[in-house]
């Protein structure tokens, strides 16, 4: 029987497979977001022209034909009732993010994605496309040459595709036309939203702010929100307050969690994962059957015929070297991994073992399967 010993140094912050206690501190800037200061998603529908025969088939994509006709009519060209056979146009969806405090005339990046049966947007140019927000109002306009990383090459009997040639990007291709008003400097209360909600972290953030500014200024109201009352000396100067608060450092806390991706066999465990005393055994019965047929030749000058004689080799592996292992109470992350690796456990088997330990009630951690 193999025994995994428990090192008391883990509780002193040594050799526990992660950073030591009290030594991992992050800025409040990296732990929280300021409520109201956020990006807004924009979307639009447009046309990409100038493609080298890789655009939409107008018969198979009627929305492209209708959009092309409407665009030409706005430019004074009447094509109603005419047959259009161009393959140099593609209908696309255009997306972008409107940054917080984005001012009128500022440029932003836009992403262009084919909507029809276009095979590539390489070399195309996006025509002026209004970009709308969730309220239906136009906040930006996109236009420019589409940069595509992938490519598509084909012949009569073969085809090569690298990347995604039907998606491209236009750097600084969007122009902000409307601003979203937000009077940050007039706020009397600032709300900080934790990116990873946790009661302990919220309390530590509030404590750090109170220690810096004054008692009673910050208060955690739930695991994800800390309210900060703006002191009198910072009225009308919220930027200075937030600049100073963002630089304060606290030690974030986290749940003991194990994240498992069964498709790829990836396992990620936090440093606070602990197990109670439990015995683990892992082994499989492997039977290997190998066919090695042999040819039997007749004697010289005889009337015999060559005959193929079957030959079968069977091997049985019971994994005798893999024994029962005992994980003692309080085992930390590094000792847990080392102990399971000592009995020859691979990532796939480790997933099943962790789930079994959790089912036995010996794993003090949350398991999240992606």
The residues pairing with 153 across neighbouring beta strands, listed in sequence order, are 160
Predicted pLDDT at 15: 38
Bridging pattern class, strands 225-229 and 189-194:
antiparallel
Predicted pLDDT at 9: 35
Which tens digit of pLDDT belongs to each residue from 84-115?
Answer: 778 899 999 999 999 998 999 999 999 999 99
CATH number attached to the domain at 25-37+183-250: 3.30.1360
Choose among 249, 253, 197: nearest CA to 225.
Answer: 197
Examine the pLDDT at 80 and tell me if it is beyond 80: no
Print the SS3 string covering the chain. Answer: CEEECCCHHHHHCCCCCCCCCCCCCEEHHHHEEECCCCCEEEEEEEEEECCCCCCCCCCCCHHHHHHHHHHHHHCCCCCCCCCCCCCCEEEEEEEEEECCCCCCCCEEEEEEEECCCCCCCCCCEEEEEEEECCCCCEEEEEEEECECCCEEEECCCCEEEECCCCEEEEEEEEEECCCCCCCHHHCCEEEEEECCCCHHHHHHHHHHHHHHCCCCCEEEEECCEEEEECCHHHCCCHHHHHHHHHCCEECCCCCCEEEEECCCCEEEECCCCEECCEEECCCCCEEEEEECCEEECCCCCCCCCCEEECCEEEEEECCCCCCCEEECCCECHHHHHHHHHHCCCCHHHHHHHHHHHHHCCCEECEEEEC
| Mean pLDDT calculated for residue range 78-83 | 76
| Mean pLDDT calculated for residue range 302-312 | 69
Predicted pLDDT at 75: 87
User: Whole-angstrom Cα distance, residue 132 to residue 71?
Assistant: 19
Q: Would you say 203 and 190 are in contact if contact means Cβ atoms under 8 Å apart?
A: no
Predicted pLDDT at 339: 67
Specify the pTM. 0.66
User: Whole-angstrom Cα distance, residue 179 to residue 201?
Assistant: 34
Predicted pLDDT at 42: 96
Joined together, the tokens standing for residue 45 give 């529908």
Residue 22 pLDDT class (50, 70, 90 cuts): low
CATH 3.30.1360-classified regions of the chain: 25-37+183-250
Which tens digit of pLDDT belongs to each residue from 119-174?
Answer: 899 999 999 999 999 999 999 999 999 999 876 666 666 777 777 889 999 999 99
Q: Which of 185-189, 323-327, 353-357 has the highest mean pLDDT?
A: 185-189
């Amino acid at each position: 029987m193999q025994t995994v010993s428990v090192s008391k140094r883990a509780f002193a912050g040594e050799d526990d497979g992660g950073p030591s206690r009290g030594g991992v501190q992050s800025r409040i800037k990296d732990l929280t977001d300021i409520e109201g200061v956020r990006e807004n998603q924009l979307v639009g529908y447009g046309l990409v022209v100038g493609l080298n025969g890789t655009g939409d088939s107008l018969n198979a994509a009627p929305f492209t034909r209708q959009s092309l006709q409407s665009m030409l009519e706005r430019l004074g060209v009447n094509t109603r009732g005419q047959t259009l056979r161009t393959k140099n146009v593609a209908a696309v969806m255009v997306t972008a993010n409107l940054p917080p405090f984005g001012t009128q005339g500022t440029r932003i990046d836009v992403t262009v994605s084919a909507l029809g049966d276009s095979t590539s947007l390489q070399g195309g140019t996006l025509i002026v496309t209004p970009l709308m927000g969730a309220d239906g109002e136009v906040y930006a306009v996109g236009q420019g040459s589409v940069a595509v990383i992938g490519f598509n090459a084909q012949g009569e009997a073969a085809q090569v595709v690298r990347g995604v040639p039907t998606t491209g990007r236009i750097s600084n291709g969007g122009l902000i036309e409307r601003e979203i008003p937000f009077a940050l400097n007039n706020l009397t209360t600032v709300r900080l939203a934790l990116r990873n909600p946790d009661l302990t972290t919220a309390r530590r953030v509030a404590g750090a702010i109170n220690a810096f500014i004054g008692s009673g200024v910050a208060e955690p109201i739930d695991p994800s929100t800390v309210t900060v009352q703006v002191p009198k000396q910072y009225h009308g100067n919220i930027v200075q307050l937030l600049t100073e608060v963002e630089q304060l450092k606290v030690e974030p806390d986290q749940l003991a969690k194990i994240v498992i991706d069964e498709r790829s066999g990836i396992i990620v465990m936090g440093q606070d994962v602990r197990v109670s005393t439990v015995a683990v055994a892992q082994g499989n019965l492997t039977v290997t059957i190998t066919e090695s047929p042999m040819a039997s030749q007749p004697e010289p000058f005889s009337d015999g015929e060559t005959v193929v004689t079957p030959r079968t080799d069977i091997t049985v592996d019971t994994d005798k070297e893999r024994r029962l292992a005992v994980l003692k109470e309080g085992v930390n992350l590094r000792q847990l991994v080392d102990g399971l690796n000592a009995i020859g456990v691979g990532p796939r088997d480790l997933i099943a073992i962790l789930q079994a330990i959790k089912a036995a009630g010996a794993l003090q951690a949350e398991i999240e399967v992606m």
